[in-house]
């Protein structure tokens, strides 16, 4: 009768070891899968070309995005205006497709909370593309 508890303990230890091995296997699989399926970063250069006041509260921002990638890339850009009197809020998102070496012009109209559109300058534009 003394074999019963020790056999039961062996079974529990075997089940625990199997769960640990399966868990570690899943962890290794997920890490490898994540590493192998990363999308490459798109090499782009950006330049804010100009800012025009359309009305007291609307500014039109024009920028260029140039692809330095070797393949066709899907590029997502965020464009906003940040001034001391107008904090950056809810930038516009623009998605474009770029061929290798291609340059595209983006034009976005931004509405400001206050009538400062005539004061917006190129350096007040926040532009980020990935």
**CATH number of the domain encompassing residue 51:** 2.60.40.10
pTM of the model: 0.64
Same domain for 67 and 30?
A: no
- Count of structural domains within the chain: 2
Of 62, 69, 82, 81, which Cα lies nearest the Cα of 130?
A: 69
pLDDT at 8: 82
Q: Are residues 65 and 30 in the same domain?
A: no
Structure tokens at 70: 């070797």
* Averaged pLDDT of the chain: 84
Question: pLDDT by residue (tens digit) across 41-73?
Answer: 668 999 999 999 999 988 899 999 999 888 888
Which among 56, 108, 113 is positioned nearest to 82, based on CA atoms? Answer: 113
The CA distance from 18 to 126, in Å, is 53
| Same domain for 51 and 16 | no
**Stronger pLDDT, 67 or 83, i.e. the higher one:** 67
Q: What letter would DSSP give residue 100?
A: T
Could you tell me if 42 and 75 are in contact, meaning their C-beta atoms sit under 8 angstroms apart?
yes
Average pLDDT, stretch 8-32?
Answer: 84
Structure tokens that stand for 121 in this block = 């300058």
Q: Are residues 75 and 119 in the same domain?
A: yes
My answer on whether 34 and 58 are in the same domain is: no
Q: What is the pLDDT of residues 25-48, one digit of tens each?
A: 887 778 777 777 665 566 899 999
116, 72: one domain: yes
- Burial (CB count within 10 angstroms: exposed 0-12, middle 13-18, buried 19+), residue 41: exposed
Q: What angle do CA 118, 96, 90 make, to 5 degrees?
A: 45
Among all chains, which residue has been given the structure tokens 């009768």? 1
Structure tokens at 50: 């100009």
Q: What is the per-residue pLDDT for 41?
A: 60
Task: Give the structural domain span for 65.
Answer: 44-129
Same domain as 101, residue 65:
yes
Q: Look at residue 25 in the predicted model and tell me its pLDDT.
A: 81
């Amino acid at each position: 009768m003394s074999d019963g508890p020790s056999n039961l303990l062996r079974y529990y230890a075997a089940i625990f070891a199997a769960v640990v091995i399966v868990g570690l296997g899943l962890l290794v699989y997920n890490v490898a899968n994540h590493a192998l399926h990363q999308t490459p970063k798109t090499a782009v250069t950006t330049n804010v070309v100009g800012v025009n006041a359309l009305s007291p509260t609307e500014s039109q921002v024009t920028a260029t995005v140039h692809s330095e990638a070797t393949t066709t890339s899907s590029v997502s850009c965020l464009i906003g205006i940040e001034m001391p009197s107008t904090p950056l809020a809810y930038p516009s998102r623009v998605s474009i497709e770029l061929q290798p070496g291609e340059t595209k012009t983006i034009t976005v109209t931004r509405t400001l909370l206050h009538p400062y559109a005539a004061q917006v300058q190129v350096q007040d534009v926040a532009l980020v593309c990935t």
